[in-house]
Amino acid sequence: MTTAIFAGSFDPFTIGHKDIVERALPLFDKIVIGIGINQNKQPLFSIEERLAAIRAAFADEPRVAVESFDCLTIDFARRHKAQYLLRGVRRVADYEYEREMADANKELGGMETVLLFAQPQYTHISSSLVRDLYRHGYDITTYMV
Ligand code: ADP
């Protein structure tokens, strides 16, 4: 069984994130979406809110599980016996960071990273953009799952 971990902050989980998971489903038997708990950051949406929103978005997809985790991504991946880390790339700026993380996770945990390019209509969507809009009272529903 091939399992991939899609880990991130997902504060909040956007339609861009959902698109990555949906397009990756044909590649894996199971995808575990992991919400990483970052003690140093004050999130806009609580872990419980993020868990509930993502679980609702994949309620009809038994091959997707959603959990939060408070450890290194590779340890979370090991716990799930996952072979792959799934990530999305929107533009060159993402590439640098993803390359660094992929190299570290390969070295530390022997984990392969599978990158999918964002579809053009989602390349401008980021959690930080959605947080900014939300804080300033804008409607964010078009970006949410
Ligand atoms: P992190 O804090 O780990 O960067 P994010 O929640 O920001 O977590 O993103 C998780 C993954 O989803 C990253 O690989 C990121 O590049 C990707 N991603 C974020 N937004 C989009 C989008 N609109 N389209 C495709 N991939 C995206």
Q: For residue 98, which atom of ligand 1 is closest to its CA?
A: 14
Q: Give me ligand 1 centre to Cα 87, in Å.
A: 7
Catalytic residue numbers, as ranges: 17, 41, 90, 127
Q: Give me ligand 1 centre to Cα 79, in Å.
A: 22
Q: pLDDT in tens for each of the 145 residues of the chain?
A: 999 999 999 999 999 999 999 999 999 999 999 999 998 999 999 999 999 999 999 999 999 999 999 999 999 999 999 999 999 999 999 999 999 999 999 999 999 999 999 999 999 999 999 999 999 999 999 999 9
> Could you tell me if 24 and 50 are in contact, meaning their C-beta atoms sit under 8 angstroms apart?
no
Burial 110-138 (b: 16+ CB within 10 A, else e): ebebeeeebeeebeebbbeebbeebeeee
pLDDT of residue 10: 98
What residue ranges line ligand 1, CB within 6 angstroms? 8-10, 14, 16-17, 20, 87-90, 94, 118, 122, 125-127
Q: Give me ligand 1 centre to Cα 132, in Å.
A: 16
> Could you tell me if 11 and 50 are in contact, meaning their C-beta atoms sit under 8 angstroms apart?
yes
* Residues contacting residue 8 through CB under 8 Å, at least 6 positions apart: 17, 34, 35, 36
